[in-house]
């Protein structure tokens, strides 16, 4: 809690603010604890088990199976959305 407060003071020096309504936190631990919220300035910060960061899924157990499944699904979706284009006779095959 002290770290959050100190970070808030530092950010205010530069005119930055934390949007408490959008802020969530992730705790990485080997123990499976219940999800808890952090209360600060009468506002609640939600704990989550996973979230997207820069296009990758980060989760509490540090496993990437979920990320791999998601990327395969996105690749399949993109392929089948463009399948007619790939099979079109109007597109010539480039030959050197």
**pLDDT tens by residue, 66-90:** 888 989 999 999 999 998 888 887 7
Query: Which pLDDT belongs to residue 78?
Result: 94
Query: Which pLDDT belongs to residue 56?
Result: 80
Backbone angles phi, psi at 58, to 5 degrees: -110, 130
Query: Which pLDDT belongs to residue 76?
Result: 95
Query: Which pLDDT belongs to residue 8?
Result: 63
Query: Which pLDDT belongs to residue 2?
Result: 44
Structure tokens at 31: 């123990």
Kindly state the DSSP code that residue 11 receives in the 8-state scheme: H
Burial classification of residue 45, based on how many CB atoms lie within 10 Å of its CB (0-12 exposed, 13-18 middle, 19 or more buried)? middle
| 5 pLDDT more than 60 | no
Distance CA 70, CA 31 (A): 25
Read off the pLDDT of each residue in 21-47 and give the average, rounded to a whole number.
76
Structure tokens at 79: 């392929």
Distance CA 58, CA 10 (A): 26
Categorize the per-residue pLDDT at 25 as very low, low, confident or very high, splitting at 50, 70 and 90: confident
């Amino acid at each position: 809690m002290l770290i959050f407060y100190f970070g808030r003071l530092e950010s205010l020096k530069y005119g930055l603010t934390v949007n408490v309504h959008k802020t969530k936190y992730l705790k990485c631990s080997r123990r499976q604890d219940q999800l808890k919220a952090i209360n600060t300035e009468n506002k609640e910060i939600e704990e989550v088990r996973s979230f997207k960061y820069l296009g990758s899924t980060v989760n509490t157990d540090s496993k990437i199976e979920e990320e791999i499944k998601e990327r395969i699904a996105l690749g399949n979706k993109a392929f089948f959305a463009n399948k007619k284009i790939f099979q079109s006779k109007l597109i010539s095959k480039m030959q050197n």
